[in-house]
Structure 1
Amino acid sequence: MRPESVEVQVRPGTTDDLGALTDLYNHYVRETPVTFDTEPFTPEERRPWLLSHPEDGPYRLRVATDADSQEILGYATSSPYRAKPAYGTSVETTVYVAPGAGGRGVGSLLYTALFDALAEEDLHRAYAAVAQPNEASARLHARFGFRHVGTYREVGRKFGRYWDVAWYEKPL
C-alpha cells in the first residue's frame, strides 16, 4: 500500500503517457459504470483522443503522477461539449483517478490544474456528466463550484442495467 504522503505532480499529458492512460481508462470501462464505453481500447485506438488534447487551447489533458515513481495516479480533461459551432465556448470536463489513489486529493489537484490552465481561454461554461450513484464525484464537482442542473434517467445501459447521469455546470 502506498503511503498517504506521496508527493503528487500535475503536468500536461504526453504521448509517452498513452499506454498508462489507456490502462487507467480501461479499468473504468471494464469494472464500473463511470464511463459508458463497454469495450476496452488499445493504446492506438486511444491515440486520437490523446492528440485532441494539446498542451494549449480549450481542450486540455492534465496528468497526476507520483513524484518519485512517475506512476500515473489520474487525469483530467476538458473536451468539446458538443460539435456544433455555437457550443464553442463550452467544455465538458472529466476526472479519472487510478484505483488505490482515491481519497488523497488527486482529483482536486487535477481539477485545480485544469481550471488554472483554462482561465485565459475564451470559455463560458464547463459541464460534467456523472453516472449515478457517485458521491465522491458529486462532492468534487461541488467543491469546484459546479451545480447540479438535471439528471437524465436511465440514459445508459451497462452491466445489464440502466444508469442515470447527473449533469453539472460551472461558469468559467
Structure 2
Amino acid sequence: MRVDLRPATSADAARCAEIYAPYVTDNWVSFELDPPDAAEMARRIEYYGASHGWLVAEVDGKTAGYAYGSPHRTREAYATSADVAVYLDAAFARAGIGRRLYEALFPILKHRNVHAIFAGIALPNDASIGLHRAMGFTPIGIYRQVGWKMGAWRDVGWWQRLL
C-alpha cells in the first residue's frame, strides 16, 4: 500500500468532510452534533493549515485520512501549545496511516514553535488511546461528564506530549 502525505488544500474539503461525518453522526468521538459541510471544512483547512498545519494521507490517489493542529487555548501564553487530531476513513483504519500523519505533523508544529501538544479523546476509545500512547502521549486527566451526546454524558481524557 502506497501512502502519500501532503498539505491539505481547499480542494480536499469535501473528502475531509466525508471522512469526518461518521465521527459526528455515528458515535461520540466528536462532540459536534452536526457534521460540517465542505465549505466549513475548507475554512478550517485554510485557517488551521496556515496556523498549525493540516495534512492529508492518500492511498492510491484516494484521501484516506487527515491530521491537523489547532490552537490549544486563545490566551497568549498558550501560543506554544496546540491540540492535535487525526481522522481516518474506516476502510483505512489500523493500517498505520494515523501514525504516519502524526509523524509528519509533529515536526511541522515544532518548526512553528509549538512546544506541547494535546489530544482530547472522548471515552471510551481504545483505538485512539492506543495510537496516542504509541506516539508518546501520556494521560494528564479526565474531564468527567463534560459533554452530552447520544443520550448520555461523555468523558474526555486529555493526553499530552512535549515536542
TM over 0.5: yes
Which one of 120, 130, 134 corresponds to residue 129 of structure 1?
Answer: 120
Counterpart of 1:38 in structure 2 is 33
1:27-72 CA-to-partner distances (Å, cap 9, x unmatched) read 21111211000112221122221111235x5x11010111x2x211
Cα distance in structure 1, aligned partners of 2:35 and 2:112 = 33
Give 5+ residue unaligned stretches, structure 1: 1-5
**Aligned positions of 1:1-12 closer than 5 A:** 6-12=1-7
Cα distance, 1:45–1:121 mapped onto 2, change above 3 Å? closer
Contact 2:145 2:155 in 1 (8 A): yes
Counterpart of 1:95 in structure 2 is 86
Greater helix proportion: 2
Q: TM-score, normalised by structure 2?
A: 0.95
Does the residue aligned with 1:22 lie in a helix, a strand or coil? helix
- Corresponding letter in the other structure for 2:58: T
Q: TM-score, normalised by structure 1?
A: 0.90
1:155 to 2:146 alignment = yes
Cα distance in structure 2, aligned partners of 1:122 and 1:165 = 26
Cα distance in structure 1, aligned partners of 2:147 and 2:72 = 18
Counterpart of 2:162 in structure 1 is 171
Give 5+ residue unaligned stretches, structure 2: none
- Aligned CA RMSD, in angstroms, stands at 1.2
Cα distance in structure 2, aligned partners of 1:139 and 1:89 = 25
Q: Percent identity?
A: 35
1:25 to 2:16 alignment = no
After superposing on structure 2, the runs of 4+ consecutive aligned residues of structure 1 that deviate more than 4 Å are none
